Structure 1
Amino acid sequence: MGRNTRKRRTPLATKVVAGAAALAVGGGGLVWANFYASAHEENPAHNRTRSAAAQVATIDCPDVGQQISDVPDRARGEVDGELATMDSQITEAYKRLATTRRAQAGDSRYVQNAILGPLKDRRKAIIDRIQLEINRAGGQADDNLDGLAQCQGQPAEQPQDGDGQDNGDGQNDGDGQNGDGQGQDDGQNQDDNGNGVAGPVADDFIDINDVEPNSRNSQNGLAANGDGGSTGTFTTDCGVNENDLFNSDNLIAAPGVDNGAHHVHDYVGNQDNDAFSSDEDLANADTSCQNQGDKSTYYWPVLRLQDGTEEFDANDLGGGADGNVGRILKPAQAELKFVGNQQSDVVAMPKFLRIITGDAKSFTNGDANANSSWSCTGFEDRQVTDKYPLCPEGSQVVRTSNFQSCWDGQNIDSANHRDHMAFVQQDGSCANGFQAIPQLQVRLVYDIPTPTIENGSVQNPYAVDSFPEQLHKPITDHNDFINVMDEDLMNEVVDCINSGEDCQ
C-alpha cells in the first residue's frame, strides 16, 4: 500500500506541523513502534488487549472547536490552525500519560502536575490567540472560552456524558500500575495490541446476536427517505480506494494542516484530497467514480486488523506514531447512495458543500454528535453505535453512515463545521427553515476475521483509526463528504430523487 505524499507547505501549516513533528522526532513515533515490537516479540501468534478498561487512562479535553460558532470568514483559516495545534497538544500529553505509569503510581499528583497542568497553560495560550484572531477579524469572541482550557484524566470506560468539563483533579486511582516512567521501557512486559494498550479492549466488542433488533437509540443518522415525499435514489460507484489514496489530513476540519486528523483516511472519488487542496484543485482533479461528473470526495477513517502486521505507515504520523497500528483493511464494498426526504422534494446541494457526520472525539465529547452504526451482513436490522460487532461465520462487518440532509440554504461550511447542516426530525422533515437536500448514505462492507475473546482479552481485534486519546472506540467512527458534482449531474440526482426513480 502507498500514501498520498503531495504536500504544499504554507505559513499556516508550518506552525501546526512543528508541534506534531516535535512529538515524532522527540520519540513519540519510537515509543509507539517499541510498544508494537515488544508486544509481538513476546507473543507473535496472538494479539491481545487488556479487558480491564480502568487500567487504561486517557485525557478528556473540552472540544473548543465545537463551542465556536461566530468566526468571521477571514479568520477561519487561522482558527482552524490553532485548533489543530490543540489536537497535537493532546496527542503529546496522551503519549506522556501512556509512558509514565510508574511515576503516576508513585505520586498521586503526577498526572495533574506534570501533564494536565502544563497542558492547561498551553491550551489557555491558544484560546487567547483564537479570541484575538476572531476579534481582529471583526467578530465577537466568547469570553467564556477560557473555561475550556482545563482537561481531565479519565479511565477508559464508555463515552462520557456531557462535554468533558469535569471538576475532578484528573487522577485515576489504580491506573498506571504497569509502567516505570521511562517512556519506551513501559511497554516491554505488556501483552497488548501494539499501541500501548490504547484499545480496543474486550468490552468494545459485542456478539451481533446479543444486539436487539431495531434498538438503536440515537436519532442521529436516521434514513431520510421513506414512503412519502421524494422516494427516488441515485447511486454513484467510486470504487474501494483501488488507487491506495491514504493520508492523515482533514481537508474540512483542518485545512492547511499536515496530519490534522492524527489518523489515516481512505479516499474514494476525488483524487486530490490532501490538506492543501483548494476548491479549484478539487474541481480540476481526477476521480475514481465511474460517472466522471462526480468529483466529490468521500473519505472515512481506515479500519485496521491489529494482527502484528507492520503497515507502510508504522512509523509515520497518523499511523504508528499516533498509535494507529496493524494491517489496513480496505472495504470489500463501498456503496454510496443519495436518497430523498420523507416530507418533501429535495433541492440541489451547492458545489463544495462540506459535511462531517459522526464525531471523531465522541469517547470524550459524549454522544451528542455520534453517528456510528455497526452491524453484520444478514443482521442489518441490528445496529449498534458503541460496540464493534462480532459476526458469525460467513457474515461480514458493516459500517453505515447516514448523513445530515437538512441545509441552511446559504453556507457550504460553518465555523464548527456542523451548524450549516442538521439531521431530519423524527417525522423526516427539516426544522428551522432548513431545506432538504439529497441524503448521502455510505455503506461499507468488510471481510474481517472475527476476533475471539478469551479470559477477558480480545485476540486479533479490528478497530477504527482514531485520535490517540480516543482509544479506538467504535463510537468515534465518522465520515466526511465534499460535493464536487458538476451542475448537470447534481440536477440529474435531484430529478431522479424527486421523480421516484432509481438511477446511477
Structure 2
Amino acid sequence: MRQQTHKRGRFTNKTVAIVAALALGGGGAAIIAANASAHGDKGDSGQNNTVAAKAGTIQCPDVGQKLSDVSEKARPEVDKNLAELDNQVAKAYQQMNQQQGSNDAVLSKLNDQRSRTMDNIGSAMGGDNSQLQGMTDCKWQEVATQGGQQQGNQQGGDQQGGQQQGGDQQDGQQGGDQQGGDQQGGGDQGGEGANDVPGNAGGQAGNGPSQDDFVDITKVQPNVQQPPQAQQNGSTGTFATECGVGDPELRNSDNVIVAPGVGNGAHHTHDYVGNDSNDAFANNQTFEQGGTSCENQDDKSTYYWPVVRAQDGKDEADANDLGGGQEGNVGTILTPTSSKIEFKGNAQSKVTAMPKFLRIITGDAKAFTNGDANANASWSCTGFEDRQLTDKYPLCPEGSSVTRTFDFQSCWDGQNIDSANHRDHVAFAGEDGSCPNGFQAIPQLVNTITYDVPANTPFAVDGFPEQLHKPITDHDDFINVMSEDLMNEAVDCINSGKQCG
C-alpha cells in the first residue's frame, strides 16, 4: 500500500508540472484567441466560468470515407484528387491560423476549390457524382475552453473533455468507444463564432494538444473487456515478428495506401518498420524488391504509424518542412523503446492466409472532425494495460511508459486487397469473434508501441493540422508482404494454438 501511495504522490507532481507546461507554452497548450480574457467572471464556486478562449478548426466531409464504388481504372485519378482535397484543407487552416483573411473568406475560397476538385473526381468515375452529393462545403468547427473544459461539436459524435482542476482530471463513465473522461456535445459549428480568429494555440505550434487532452491514468477505471471465449473450432495461437522500432532516415510524410504517387499525402510524419522502401511512389514490385528491418527476412511487410513528439520547445530536422513544422507537427520526435508486432487467432474459427499486398488501415486520422466511428486506436501506460483510452493521452506515473495499441481488422472479404475507401474489404470481428457474412477470419495484427516520455513533458501524435493533435486521431497502417511460406507458417502456428515467431 505504501508503494502505491508513494507512486501516486510522485505522479501528482508530474501532473502539475505537465499542466503548468501546457498552460505556459514551450510545449504548452493554452488556447488563445482574439478578445480572449485572462480573467473571467466567477460563479458560485469561485472558479472562472466564462469562456477563456474561443478557437476552432475546419470540418469538411471526408469524401474518401464515403466512396464505395470506384473502378480500379479510376482509382489513381480519384486518389490524386482526394489528396488534393486534403492539401486544400491544410492550406486553408494555415491561412486562418496566420490570419490571412477572414474565416468566411478562407472557407468560401476553400469550398470553391473543393467543388472543382470534386468535379474532377466525378469525371474520373465516369461522370457519376451520386456518391459525392452534399460533400462540398466545409464549415468552421468551434472549440471552446471554459474553466478547463474543452467543447467541440463533432459530426458523428459530440465530445466534451472532462473537468480538470489543479492538473487532476476527473473521469466519468462514457459509452461507445471513447474512454477516460465525460463527454457530451457543446459548442456550435459554423455560424456563431465563424469570424473568430482561429486561436487554438495549444501545444508548441499553436494547434494542440490542450490540457483537456490528458488524463491521469491512475484515475481511470479498468475498462478492458475480456476477449471472447475460444470455441472448439477457434484459433488461439500467436505468431510474432520482430522488426525493430524504425529508422529515422526512413521517416516521411507520405501515405502510399491513401495517397499513392502524392508526396506529403499524409501531412504528418510516419515511422516505418519492416520494408525499407515505403514512400508515396512505392508499388507492389517496389515492396517485393525492398529490404526489411524484420529479423525474418521473409517478412517484407510494411508497418507504419504517425510519430509521437515531445512538446519540448525544440526543433526537429523537419521543423521547416511540409508534414513537419510547416503543418504544425513540431517538437522532438520520440523513438519507441519497443514495437511489439503479433498476429492472433479468431475465437470462432480457424484463420486463413492473408493475400499478399493486402492493405489495412486501423483508426482514423480525421476522427476529431469525422466522429469516432472508426477511432479504435488506444493509449495507456505500462502496468495499467487494463485501462485503455481512445480520446485522451495518458499521464503515466514514474517508472511507467506510454503505450499505443492498434488492433487491426481480422475479417477479409476473400477477394480484394484494398477498397475505394480502404475499409470495405476488411472488417472487425463481432463481440463473439465471428466475422460478418461473406467475410473470413485472417490473422489479426496487434501492434503495441511503447515510449519513454521525458519527465514533465507533454506529448502529441502527429496529424493533419486541422485535427489539433487530438489523441482520437491515432491510426496505424499495414501492407502484407510476407512470403507465401511465412504466411502459411503463421497460419499453421495460430490454428494449432502455438506461440511462434
TM interval, shorter chain, is: 0.7 to 0.9
Say yes or no: does 1:465 pair with 2:474.
no
Which of 108, 111, 117 is 2:108 aligned to?
117
Task: Give the number of equivalent residue pairs.
Answer: 424
Whole-angstrom distance in 2 between the partners of 1:203 and 1:57: 15
The 3 A distance-change label for structure 1 pair 297 and 178 is closer
The 3 A distance-change label for structure 1 pair 226 and 464 is farther
Question: CA offsets per residue over residues 254-304 of structure 1, 9 Å max, x none?
Answer: 000000000000000000000101100100100000000000000000000
Match runs of 1:79-228 below 5 Å:
79-100=78-99, 110-112=102-104, 114-135=105-126, 141-143=128-130, 145-156=132-143, 157-158=151-152, 160-162=154-156, 169-172=190-193, 175-176=196-197, 193-195=203-205, 197-214=206-223, 226=230
Whole-angstrom distance in 1 between the partners of 2:308 and 2:372: 21
Q: CA deviation at 1:433?
A: 1.6
Say yes or no: does 1:323 pair with 2:325.
no
On the 8 A contact 1:272/1:281 being kept in 2, the answer is: yes
Whole-angstrom distance in 1 between the partners of 2:229 and 2:488: 18
The 3 A distance-change label for structure 1 pair 411 and 159 is farther
Q: CA deviation at 1:241?
A: 0.9
On the 8 A contact 1:406/1:421 being kept in 2, the answer is: yes
Say yes or no: does 1:496 pair with 2:493.
yes
On the 8 A contact 2:122/2:129 being kept in 1, the answer is: yes
On the 8 A contact 1:363/1:476 being kept in 2, the answer is: yes
Which residue of the partner structure matches residue 246 of structure 1? Answer: 251
Q: CA deviation at 1:326?
A: 0.5
Q: CA deviation at 1:243?
A: 5.6
Which residue of the partner structure matches residue 183 of structure 1? Answer: none
Give aligned-pair identity as a percent: 58
Q: CA deviation at 1:365?
A: 0.2
Q: CA deviation at 1:308?
A: 1.5
The 3 A distance-change label for structure 1 pair 224 and 68 is farther
Which residue of the partner structure matches residue 50 of structure 1? Answer: 30
Whole-angstrom distance in 1 between the partners of 2:323 and 2:122: 29
On the 8 A contact 1:159/1:366 being kept in 2, the answer is: no
Whole-angstrom distance in 1 between the partners of 2:227 and 2:336: 22
Whole-angstrom distance in 2 between the partners of 1:211 and 1:147: 40
Q: Which has the higher helix share?
A: 1
Give, as a single letter, the amino acid of the residue that structure 2 aligns with 1:93.
A
Give, as a single letter, the amino acid of the residue that structure 2 aligns with 1:370.
A
Which residue of the partner structure matches residue 377 of structure 1? Answer: 382
Structure 2 length-normalised TM = 0.80
Structure 1 length-normalised TM = 0.80
On the 8 A contact 2:142/2:190 being kept in 1, the answer is: no
Alignment gaps of 5+ in structure 2: 1-20, 33-51, 144-150, 159-186
Whole-angstrom distance in 2 between the partners of 1:405 and 1:374: 20
Whole-angstrom distance in 1 between the partners of 2:320 and 2:416: 39
Alignment gaps of 5+ in structure 1: 1-39, 104-109, 180-189, 217-221, 452-459
Q: CA deviation at 1:120?
A: 1.1
Q: CA deviation at 1:227?
A: 6.7
SS at match of 1:49: coil
On the 8 A contact 1:358/1:476 being kept in 2, the answer is: yes
Whole-angstrom distance in 2 between the partners of 1:230 and 1:443: 21
On the 8 A contact 1:159/1:367 being kept in 2, the answer is: no
SS at match of 1:275: coil
RCO comparison, higher one (Cα < 8 Å, 6+): 1
The 3 A distance-change label for structure 1 pair 163 and 76 is farther
SS at match of 1:280: helix
Whole-angstrom distance in 2 between the partners of 1:149 and 1:87: 13
Larger CA deviation: 344-353 vs 46-55: 46-55
On the 8 A contact 1:322/1:468 being kept in 2, the answer is: yes
SS at match of 1:308: coil
Question: CA offsets per residue over residues 6-44 of structure 1, 9 Å max, x none?
Answer: xxxxxxxxxxxxxxxxxxxxxxxxxxxxxxxxxx9xx89
SS at match of 1:480: strand
The 3 A distance-change label for structure 1 pair 178 and 435 is closer
Which residue of the partner structure matches residue 15 of structure 1? Answer: none
Whole-angstrom distance in 2 between the partners of 1:203 and 1:68: 34
Question: CA offsets per residue over residues 285-344 of structure 1, 9 Å max, x none?
Answer: 000000000000000000000112210100011000111001000110100000000000
